[in-house]
Amino acid sequence: MEEFVTEEEEPWYDQQDLEQDLHLAAELGKTLLERNKELEDSLQLMYITNEEQVQEIEYLSKQLDVLRDMNEQHAKVYEQLDGTARELERTNVSLVIDSKNSHQKIERLTGTIDALQVQVETLSGQVEQLRSMEQLRVRREKRERRKTIHSFPCLRELCTAPGYEDQFVVGRAESFTVDAKRPPFEEENQHLREAVSALRGAARTERGRREGVERECNLLLGEFSRLQTRVQDAESCQARVRELEVELQELQQLRRARTFLMSSEDDGTTITQTVLNSTPETDTFLEVEVSEETGGGVREANEGGGKSVGGETLPESSPVRKSCSDTALNAIVARDASGRRRGSYALHANSVRKRGMSILREVDEQYHALLEKYEELLGKCRRHEESLCHAGVQTSRPVSRDPSMKDCAIGPTPAPPPLPDAVALHPRGHGEHQQAGGRRG
């Protein structure tokens, strides 16, 4: 039996190198486990933040529905106010026409009064002339009687009786001249005086009516100007509501984009291992394209300066910093289309992990700004409703005095239901936003 002499072969590896490699592998595994745990914690935090944002958006949607209802009620009130304003304008035009007619009538009556006064003065002068002529005639008759008495002695004894001359003169003058000529002029003068007094009373009444019409016209003009001011305030409130709706839509689009990006993190777990070892080198914007079957995509570019989700425009935000090197990005882009999409999703997931707090602060600031705008709009709407109620109470008195203005009265506007307080409905989100604001401070 032949004996083969075998020489012991030298090992191709060194024991020390093997231990060092095992130690490095253990450290690498530990590091990977720690990073995996950090990623899980970050993902859990993002899920919690997403749920809170969903609750906030639902709450804001309810508030927007309430604001829309209030806007519809305000639109109905404004339509009624427009109708009332048109009726008031027509009434104002009719009152102006009546005022002009009253002025013309007063001028005609004034001219008639002046003519009657001139006629009365003329008739008074004629009466004075007739009286003077009557006195002259009586004196002439007295002189003739005296001459006749002195010429006949028998008549002298008869006329010497007491009271004869006075009774004869008075009886003759009053029974014939005064009764025949004087009463018609006095009656005509009395009639003219009564007509003048009646015309003066009618002129005073017409003047008082004209002053009342002018006062009502001034009140209607003031009310019309106040209604125009309220209509302008209502238009500004409607514009503010539209701005709030646009901001709410932008927040909803941002939430959908974030949800879409987080849901796509599971597809890119294989590429994440390559990306984690890279270091941040450049600040660029992501460009992610999703096929039409998935319902749209997320696109960020330097030209637009904004974000588009499913064809809708998102508000501008700060650029997202990539956490990979150019070589890792080139290696990912060299894959097929699905690999490129998964690589982009993994890059965005890593950027979300790095910049999660900044995005949370941005959403928090947007929420606080929207909440402040909503509270400001709510206070303005309440003040506007109070002013409407107060103006309705004030304008009901002067309008009710004229029976022709009864149709213009408007019933009291029903008060809208009280809105829930933002802090009472969502105390948890409010407390967390306050803590976030304290950290920013």
Give how far Cα 48 sits from Cα of 44, 162, 205, 253, Å: 6, 137, 81, 18
The whole-angstrom separation of Cα 100 and Cα 217 is 13
Say how far residue 135 (Cα) sits from the centre of its chain: 86
Of 356, 350, 358, 353, residue with least CA distance to 277: 350
For residue 23, give the amino acid letter.
Answer: H
According to the model, what pLDDT value does residue 262 have?
A: 76
The whole-angstrom separation of Cα 244 and Cα 374 is 7
The whole-angstrom separation of Cα 88 and Cα 95 is 10
Stated pTM of the model? 0.27
According to the model, what pLDDT value does residue 391 have?
A: 64
Are 119 and 192 in contact by the 8 Å Cβ rule? The answer is yes
The whole-angstrom separation of Cα 196 and Cα 164 is 44
Sign of the C-alpha dihedral computed for residues 390, 395, 398 and 401 taken in this order: negative
Of 144, 173, 174, 138, residue with least CA distance to 159: 144
Are 142 and 169 in contact by the 8 Å Cβ rule? The answer is yes
According to the model, what pLDDT value does residue 83 have?
A: 93
According to the model, what pLDDT value does residue 188 have?
A: 76
The whole-angstrom separation of Cα 310 and Cα 256 is 10
Q: In what order do the strands lie in the sheet with 298-300?
A: 298-300, 307-309, 312-314
According to the model, what pLDDT value does residue 285 have?
A: 36
Are 329 and 298 in contact by the 8 Å Cβ rule? The answer is no
From first to last of its 441 residues, what are the pLDDT tens digits of the chain?
A: 444 444 445 556 677 888 888 899 999 999 999 999 999 999 999 999 999 999 999 999 999 999 999 999 999 999 999 999 999 999 999 999 998 998 898 988 888 888 888 888 888 888 888 888 888 888 888 888 777 766 655 555 555 555 444 444 444 444 444 444 456 677 777 888 888 888 888 888 888 888 888 888 888 888 888 888 888 888 888 888 888 888 888 888 888 887 887 776 555 544 444 444 444 433 333 333 333 334 444 343 333 344 443 343 433 444 334 434 444 444 444 444 444 455 555 555 555 555 555 666 677 677 778 778 777 887 888 887 787 776 655 554 444 444 444 443 334 444 444 444 444 434 444 454 455 444 444
CB neighbour class for 249 (10 Å; exposed up to 12, middle 13-18, buried from 19) = middle
Backbone angles phi, psi at 12, to 5 degrees: -80, -5
Q: b/e for 9-33, b at 16 or more Cβ within 10 A?
A: eeeeeeeeeeeeeeeeeeeeeeeee
According to the model, what pLDDT value does residue 26 have?
A: 92
What contacts 24+ positions apart, CB below 8 Å, involve 331-337?
331/274, 332/271, 332/274, 332/275
